[in-house]
Amino acid sequence: MLILQKRVRKRKAIAMRRRVIFLQIAVYLFKIKNMTKQKILIVDDDKDANDIVKSCLAASGYGTISAFSASEAIEYASALKPDLIILDINLPDGNGEMVYAALQAMTETKGLPVIIISGEPPSRVQRMQGMKSIPPEDIFIKPLDIPEFLKRVNGYLAEKKNRAGKKILIADDDTSMNEIIKKNLEAAGYGTLSVFGGYQAVDCAKKNRPDLILLDINLPAGSGELAYTVLKGLKELNKIPVIIVSGEDPAVIRRMHIGKSVSLQDIFLKPVDFKKLLHRIGQRLTEKETDNAGG
Protein backbone atom coordinates (compact mmCIF):
# COMPACT_ATOMS: atom_id res chain seq x y z
CA MET A 1 0.00 0.00 0.00
CA LEU A 2 2.80 2.42 0.94
CA ILE A 3 4.63 1.72 -2.32
CA LEU A 4 1.41 2.31 -4.27
CA GLN A 5 0.85 5.67 -2.50
CA LYS A 6 4.41 6.74 -3.32
CA ARG A 7 3.88 5.85 -6.99
CA VAL A 8 0.63 7.86 -7.08
CA ARG A 9 2.34 10.88 -5.48
CA LYS A 10 5.24 10.59 -7.92
CA ARG A 11 2.86 10.45 -10.91
CA LYS A 12 1.01 13.52 -9.60
CA ALA A 13 4.29 15.42 -9.12
CA ILE A 14 5.40 14.55 -12.68
CA ALA A 15 2.00 15.60 -14.06
CA MET A 16 2.22 18.90 -12.18
CA ARG A 17 5.74 19.59 -13.51
CA ARG A 18 4.56 18.84 -17.04
CA ARG A 19 1.60 21.18 -16.57
CA VAL A 20 3.89 24.00 -15.38
CA ILE A 21 6.28 23.46 -18.31
CA PHE A 22 3.37 23.37 -20.77
CA LEU A 23 2.00 26.61 -19.32
CA GLN A 24 5.39 28.33 -19.56
CA ILE A 25 5.87 27.22 -23.18
CA ALA A 26 2.31 28.26 -24.15
CA VAL A 27 2.72 31.72 -22.60
CA TYR A 28 6.17 32.19 -24.16
CA LEU A 29 4.98 31.21 -27.65
CA PHE A 30 1.89 33.37 -27.28
CA LYS A 31 3.96 36.42 -26.30
CA ILE A 32 6.36 35.90 -29.22
CA LYS A 33 3.50 35.48 -31.71
CA ASN A 34 1.54 38.48 -30.42
CA MET A 35 4.30 40.91 -29.38
CA THR A 36 2.66 43.93 -31.02
CA LYS A 37 -0.98 43.02 -30.29
CA GLN A 38 -3.17 43.70 -27.30
CA LYS A 39 -3.74 40.40 -25.52
CA ILE A 40 -7.08 38.92 -24.41
CA LEU A 41 -7.58 35.85 -22.22
CA ILE A 42 -10.82 33.96 -23.01
CA VAL A 43 -12.11 31.76 -20.18
CA ASP A 44 -14.96 29.43 -21.19
CA ASP A 45 -15.17 25.66 -20.81
CA ASP A 46 -17.52 25.42 -23.82
CA LYS A 47 -15.01 24.93 -26.65
CA ASP A 48 -17.43 26.04 -29.37
CA ALA A 49 -18.29 29.26 -27.49
CA ASN A 50 -14.59 29.83 -26.74
CA ASP A 51 -13.71 29.39 -30.43
CA ILE A 52 -16.45 31.81 -31.57
CA VAL A 53 -15.19 34.53 -29.23
CA LYS A 54 -11.59 33.79 -30.21
CA SER A 55 -12.37 34.06 -33.95
CA CYS A 56 -14.22 37.38 -33.51
CA LEU A 57 -11.40 38.89 -31.45
CA ALA A 58 -8.65 37.58 -33.74
CA ALA A 59 -10.49 39.05 -36.75
CA SER A 60 -10.45 42.40 -34.92
CA GLY A 61 -6.65 42.23 -34.63
CA TYR A 62 -6.28 41.07 -31.03
CA GLY A 63 -4.01 38.33 -29.73
CA THR A 64 -6.01 35.65 -27.90
CA ILE A 65 -5.29 32.73 -25.60
CA SER A 66 -7.92 30.32 -24.29
CA ALA A 67 -8.47 28.77 -20.86
CA PHE A 68 -11.14 26.15 -20.20
CA SER A 69 -11.19 25.95 -16.40
CA ALA A 70 -10.90 28.14 -13.30
CA SER A 71 -7.39 26.89 -12.50
CA GLU A 72 -6.15 27.52 -16.06
CA ALA A 73 -7.69 31.00 -15.99
CA ILE A 74 -5.80 31.98 -12.83
CA GLU A 75 -2.52 30.46 -14.06
CA TYR A 76 -2.68 32.16 -17.48
CA ALA A 77 -3.77 35.52 -16.05
CA SER A 78 -0.91 35.50 -13.55
CA ALA A 79 1.73 34.46 -16.10
CA LEU A 80 0.48 36.52 -19.06
CA LYS A 81 -1.06 39.65 -17.47
CA PRO A 82 -3.44 40.15 -20.42
CA ASP A 83 -4.91 43.49 -21.40
CA LEU A 84 -8.44 42.11 -20.93
CA ILE A 85 -10.10 38.94 -19.61
CA ILE A 86 -13.35 37.47 -21.00
CA LEU A 87 -14.74 35.31 -18.18
CA ASP A 88 -17.58 32.77 -18.20
CA ILE A 89 -19.45 32.29 -14.92
CA ASN A 90 -19.89 28.50 -15.05
CA LEU A 91 -16.61 26.56 -15.10
CA PRO A 92 -15.95 22.86 -14.37
CA ASP A 93 -13.58 23.27 -11.40
CA GLY A 94 -15.04 26.41 -9.87
CA ASN A 95 -16.91 29.44 -11.14
CA GLY A 96 -16.27 32.89 -12.53
CA GLU A 97 -16.96 34.45 -9.15
CA MET A 98 -14.14 32.41 -7.60
CA VAL A 99 -11.77 33.29 -10.46
CA TYR A 100 -12.60 37.00 -10.23
CA ALA A 101 -12.01 36.96 -6.46
CA ALA A 102 -8.65 35.20 -6.94
CA LEU A 103 -7.58 37.73 -9.59
CA GLN A 104 -8.50 40.65 -7.34
CA ALA A 105 -6.55 39.10 -4.46
CA MET A 106 -3.27 38.82 -6.40
CA THR A 107 -1.11 41.93 -6.78
CA GLU A 108 -0.02 41.01 -10.32
CA THR A 109 -3.61 40.60 -11.61
CA LYS A 110 -5.60 42.99 -9.43
CA GLY A 111 -7.15 45.71 -11.56
CA LEU A 112 -7.09 43.76 -14.85
CA PRO A 113 -10.31 44.60 -16.74
CA VAL A 114 -12.83 41.74 -16.90
CA ILE A 115 -15.90 41.27 -19.11
CA ILE A 116 -18.35 38.61 -17.95
CA ILE A 117 -20.15 36.28 -20.37
CA SER A 118 -22.96 34.21 -18.89
CA GLY A 119 -26.25 32.46 -19.44
CA GLU A 120 -27.50 34.35 -16.37
CA PRO A 121 -29.06 37.84 -16.63
CA PRO A 122 -26.83 40.75 -15.46
CA SER A 123 -29.04 41.42 -12.42
CA ARG A 124 -28.48 37.87 -11.13
CA VAL A 125 -24.73 38.01 -11.79
CA GLN A 126 -24.48 41.28 -9.86
CA ARG A 127 -26.23 39.72 -6.86
CA MET A 128 -23.32 37.28 -6.51
CA GLN A 129 -21.20 38.39 -3.57
CA GLY A 130 -17.95 38.69 -5.52
CA MET A 131 -19.47 40.34 -8.60
CA LYS A 132 -21.06 43.46 -7.12
CA SER A 133 -18.34 45.76 -8.48
CA ILE A 134 -18.90 44.60 -12.09
CA PRO A 135 -21.02 47.20 -13.95
CA PRO A 136 -24.00 45.86 -15.97
CA GLU A 137 -22.42 47.03 -19.24
CA ASP A 138 -19.57 44.55 -18.63
CA ILE A 139 -21.94 41.55 -18.40
CA PHE A 140 -23.04 39.89 -21.65
CA ILE A 141 -25.70 37.18 -21.92
CA LYS A 142 -25.14 34.14 -24.14
CA PRO A 143 -25.63 33.86 -27.06
CA LEU A 144 -23.52 36.99 -27.45
CA ASP A 145 -24.62 40.07 -29.33
CA ILE A 146 -21.30 40.12 -31.21
CA PRO A 147 -21.39 43.76 -32.45
CA GLU A 148 -22.19 45.08 -28.94
CA PHE A 149 -19.63 42.75 -27.37
CA LEU A 150 -16.88 43.89 -29.76
CA LYS A 151 -17.86 47.51 -29.20
CA ARG A 152 -17.29 47.06 -25.46
CA VAL A 153 -13.99 45.21 -25.97
CA ASN A 154 -12.76 47.86 -28.42
CA GLY A 155 -13.76 50.61 -25.98
CA TYR A 156 -11.84 49.02 -23.11
CA LEU A 157 -8.69 48.42 -25.13
CA ALA A 158 -8.74 51.79 -26.92
CA GLU A 159 -8.94 53.36 -23.46
CA LYS A 160 -5.96 51.31 -22.33
CA LYS A 161 -3.96 52.25 -25.45
CA ASN A 162 -4.70 55.92 -24.78
CA ARG A 163 -3.18 55.52 -21.31
CA ALA A 164 0.22 54.75 -22.80
CA GLY A 165 2.47 57.74 -22.18
CA LYS A 166 0.34 59.08 -19.32
CA LYS A 167 2.39 59.50 -16.14
CA ILE A 168 0.87 59.28 -12.68
CA LEU A 169 2.77 60.40 -9.58
CA ILE A 170 2.13 58.25 -6.50
CA ALA A 171 2.92 59.98 -3.18
CA ASP A 172 2.58 57.47 -0.33
CA ASP A 173 5.11 56.73 2.42
CA ASP A 174 3.77 53.19 2.90
CA THR A 175 6.18 51.34 0.59
CA SER A 176 3.95 48.27 0.19
CA MET A 177 0.89 50.40 -0.64
CA ASN A 178 2.96 52.52 -3.02
CA GLU A 179 4.08 49.36 -4.81
CA ILE A 180 0.54 47.91 -4.97
CA ILE A 181 -0.82 51.13 -6.49
CA LYS A 182 2.13 51.25 -8.92
CA LYS A 183 1.53 47.67 -10.13
CA ASN A 184 -2.20 48.26 -10.62
CA LEU A 185 -1.62 51.46 -12.58
CA GLU A 186 1.04 49.84 -14.76
CA ALA A 187 -1.24 46.84 -15.37
CA ALA A 188 -3.81 49.37 -16.61
CA GLY A 189 -1.25 50.87 -19.02
CA TYR A 190 -0.08 53.97 -17.14
CA GLY A 191 3.48 55.09 -16.51
CA THR A 192 4.24 55.77 -12.84
CA LEU A 193 6.51 57.84 -10.61
CA SER A 194 6.81 57.03 -6.89
CA VAL A 195 7.75 59.29 -3.98
CA PHE A 196 7.38 58.86 -0.23
CA GLY A 197 7.17 62.39 1.23
CA GLY A 198 5.36 65.68 0.73
CA TYR A 199 8.34 67.77 -0.40
CA GLN A 200 9.43 64.91 -2.68
CA ALA A 201 6.00 65.02 -4.32
CA VAL A 202 6.35 68.72 -5.12
CA ASP A 203 9.93 68.34 -6.42
CA CYS A 204 9.01 65.33 -8.57
CA ALA A 205 5.97 67.15 -10.00
CA LYS A 206 8.17 70.15 -10.91
CA LYS A 207 10.73 67.98 -12.70
CA ASN A 208 8.42 65.48 -14.42
CA ARG A 209 5.06 67.25 -14.93
CA PRO A 210 2.87 64.17 -14.29
CA ASP A 211 -0.59 63.96 -15.84
CA LEU A 212 -2.19 63.20 -12.46
CA ILE A 213 -1.13 62.87 -8.81
CA LEU A 214 -2.31 60.30 -6.25
CA LEU A 215 -1.63 61.88 -2.86
CA ASP A 216 -1.72 60.39 0.63
CA ILE A 217 -2.64 62.80 3.43
CA ASN A 218 -0.22 61.53 6.08
CA LEU A 219 3.27 61.96 4.65
CA PRO A 220 6.61 62.61 6.35
CA ALA A 221 8.76 65.59 5.33
CA GLY A 222 5.80 67.74 4.39
CA SER A 223 2.24 66.48 4.79
CA GLY A 224 -0.03 65.66 1.87
CA GLU A 225 -2.11 68.69 2.75
CA LEU A 226 0.96 70.96 2.59
CA ALA A 227 2.08 69.39 -0.70
CA TYR A 228 -1.40 69.96 -2.17
CA THR A 229 -1.35 73.63 -1.12
CA VAL A 230 2.08 74.17 -2.70
CA LEU A 231 1.09 72.38 -5.92
CA LYS A 232 -2.06 74.45 -6.31
CA GLY A 233 -0.07 77.63 -5.65
CA LEU A 234 2.32 77.04 -8.55
CA LYS A 235 1.03 78.24 -11.91
CA GLU A 236 2.85 75.53 -13.85
CA LEU A 237 1.40 72.74 -11.67
CA ASN A 238 -2.00 73.89 -10.48
CA LYS A 239 -3.86 72.31 -13.42
CA ILE A 240 -2.61 68.80 -12.58
CA PRO A 241 -5.54 66.74 -11.21
CA VAL A 242 -5.02 65.42 -7.67
CA ILE A 243 -6.81 62.40 -6.19
CA ILE A 244 -6.48 61.71 -2.46
CA VAL A 245 -5.77 58.10 -1.42
CA SER A 246 -5.74 57.88 2.36
CA GLY A 247 -6.44 55.82 5.45
CA GLU A 248 -8.31 58.81 6.88
CA ASP A 249 -12.09 58.78 6.85
CA PRO A 250 -13.34 60.95 3.92
CA ALA A 251 -15.58 62.83 6.39
CA VAL A 252 -12.47 63.79 8.41
CA ILE A 253 -10.63 64.88 5.25
CA ARG A 254 -13.61 67.00 4.21
CA ARG A 255 -13.27 68.97 7.46
CA MET A 256 -9.58 69.67 6.75
CA HIS A 257 -8.46 72.64 4.64
CA ILE A 258 -7.62 70.31 1.72
CA GLY A 259 -11.07 68.75 1.90
CA LYS A 260 -12.75 72.04 1.12
CA SER A 261 -11.20 72.15 -2.36
CA VAL A 262 -11.21 68.44 -3.23
CA SER A 263 -14.36 66.77 -4.54
CA LEU A 264 -15.69 63.82 -2.54
CA GLN A 265 -15.33 61.79 -5.76
CA ASP A 266 -11.58 62.43 -5.56
CA ILE A 267 -11.13 60.98 -2.06
CA PHE A 268 -10.45 57.23 -1.88
CA LEU A 269 -10.24 55.32 1.38
CA LYS A 270 -7.67 52.56 1.85
CA PRO A 271 -7.84 49.66 1.10
CA VAL A 272 -8.48 50.97 -2.40
CA ASP A 273 -11.16 49.71 -4.79
CA PHE A 274 -8.92 49.82 -7.85
CA LYS A 275 -11.73 49.41 -10.36
CA LYS A 276 -13.36 52.60 -9.04
CA LEU A 277 -10.02 54.39 -8.72
CA LEU A 278 -9.04 53.58 -12.32
CA HIS A 279 -12.45 54.75 -13.51
CA ARG A 280 -12.03 58.06 -11.67
CA ILE A 281 -8.47 58.51 -12.98
CA GLY A 282 -9.81 58.06 -16.51
CA GLN A 283 -12.51 60.66 -15.87
CA ARG A 284 -10.06 63.23 -14.47
CA LEU A 285 -7.62 62.77 -17.36
CA THR A 286 -10.45 63.17 -19.88
CA GLU A 287 -11.59 66.34 -18.09
CA LYS A 288 -8.02 67.66 -18.19
CA GLU A 289 -7.70 67.00 -21.94
CA THR A 290 -11.07 68.69 -22.57
CA ASP A 291 -10.01 71.74 -20.53
CA ASN A 292 -6.68 71.94 -22.38
CA ALA A 293 -8.42 71.69 -25.76
CA GLY A 294 -10.86 74.42 -24.77
CA GLY A 295 -8.23 76.68 -23.21
pLDDT given for residue 46 in this prediction: 93
Domain 35-161 fold: Rossmann fold (3.40.50)
Look up the CATH number of domain 165-294: 3.40.50.2300
CA angle 283, 104, 119 (to 5 degrees): 90
140-158 pLDDT, tens per residue? 999 899 999 999 998 888 8
The set of residues, in sequence order, having a beta carbon less than 8 Å from that of 64 and lying 6+ positions away, is 39, 40, 41, 42, 53, 54, 57, 58
Q: Tell me if 35-161 shares its fold with 165-294.
A: yes
Q: What angle do CA 160, 165, 191 make, to 5 degrees?
A: 85
The closest of 213, 111, 110, 205 to 160, measured between CA atoms, is: 111
Q: What is the mean pLDDT of the chain?
A: 85
pLDDT in tens, 238-294: 999 999 999 888 888 878 878 678 888 999 999 898 888 988 998 899 888 777 766
Tell me how far CA of residue 203 lies from CA of 51, 102, 165, 225, 251, in angstroms: 51, 38, 20, 15, 29
All structural domains of the chain with their residue ranges:
35-161, 165-294
Contact 274, 110 (CB under 8 A): yes
pTM: 0.62
